[in-house]
Amino acid sequence: MLSGGTAGGTMPMASTQMLIASASKWLFGAYVVQLRNGVLTANDIAALTMRSGHTNFTYGSCIRVNPITQATETVTECFNAPSNSGSGTNADFNPSTSGKYFYNGGHFQWLSVSDLQLGSANNAALKSAVAAQIGNDFSFAYDSPQLAGGAISSATDYGFFLRKILSNQLRMHDALGTNAVCTNPLTCVNALSTPISLSESWHYSLAHWVEDDPIVGDGSFSSPGAFGFYPWIDASKTYYGVLARYSLPSGAGDSVAVDSVTCGRKIRKAWLTATAQ
């Protein structure tokens, strides 16, 4: 690490373990790329670029009040649970979304159950399986058996993961930005749903974003989470950064993730250009 610091009131420290929400996706993407020795199947690519057609999954449907129930819930049980979307289950396949970009955790859950033999894994077993590929040399765990959003980690530990990518210890180094698809429904006929502001057009690669909007993008690779955890690697694959915070959205239209991206983007630009933002 070259620099770091804290700001705010009840701020987390670099070592604070927290729910990282969608920053979990990059861990899973690195796991799949490592497991396949960099040679992905058609299903891998469809799922990791969110084009598998499994778009009815909801995060809250796999969160249990009882900690014992939460600890024993499996990937398959989470996938087959009733969706909080209003109808159906998390496992529902929607043919109208197949082949088109639709941001949803169901893609990763489907791949885990159908192709990766992770269906019987609970939180502990899931962590062991993923760590067997990306390493036991940094700390992460699963709060719920959701590949796209259930992980817990810290800025220190996630930073170690990003350094492993940068140093080419993980095959994700060469996979960054590959197989990228357009994501903005206003500018892309093959995109249906995105959490990113429609004023920007990013691409989505293998379980991570490419921030390459033609106006404000800098080409960085990232994986912002809904609670504010925002990790990135710059476009040159030289530097990484983690903005670690935890905040729940206060209501409709409140995007904690977007706020972190806005802040993190300024931090990144300040570092790369040596110019205050």
Give the fold, CATH level 3, of 18-273.
Beta-lactamase (3.40.710)
b or e along 26-52 (b: 16 or more beta carbons within 10 Å of the residue's beta carbon)? bbbbbbbbbbeeeebeeebbbbbbbbb
| C-beta of residue 228 within 8 angstroms of C-beta of residue 20 | no
Distance CA 137, CA 159 (A): 12
| C-beta of residue 20 within 8 angstroms of C-beta of residue 156 | no
> Which pLDDT score, from 0 to 100, does residue 240 have?
97
DSSP at 182: E
> Which pLDDT score, from 0 to 100, does residue 9 have?
75
Q: And the tokens for 165?
A: 């990518």
DSSP letters spanning 33-82: HHHTTT---HHHHHHHTT-SS-----GGGG--SSHHHHHH--HHHHHHSB
Which runs of E-coded beta strand occur in 119-161?
A: 141-142, 151-153
> Which pLDDT score, from 0 to 100, does residue 227 have?
93
Average pLDDT of span 36-61: 98
The 10s digit of each residue's pLDDT in 179-206 is 999 999 999 999 999 999 999 999 999 9
The 10s digit of each residue's pLDDT in 90-136 is 999 999 999 999 999 999 999 999 999 999 999 999 999 999 999 99
When the pLDDT of each residue in the chain is averaged and rounded to a whole number, the result is 95
Sequence ranges of the domains in the chain: 18-273
pLDDT of 1 strictly over 80: yes
pLDDT confidence bin for 254, thresholds 50/70/90: low
pLDDT confidence bin for 65, thresholds 50/70/90: very high
More confident residue, 220 or 5: 220
% of the chain residues with pLDDT over 70: 98
Statement: the pTM of the whole predicted model exceeds 0.85? yes
> Which pLDDT score, from 0 to 100, does residue 250 have?
66
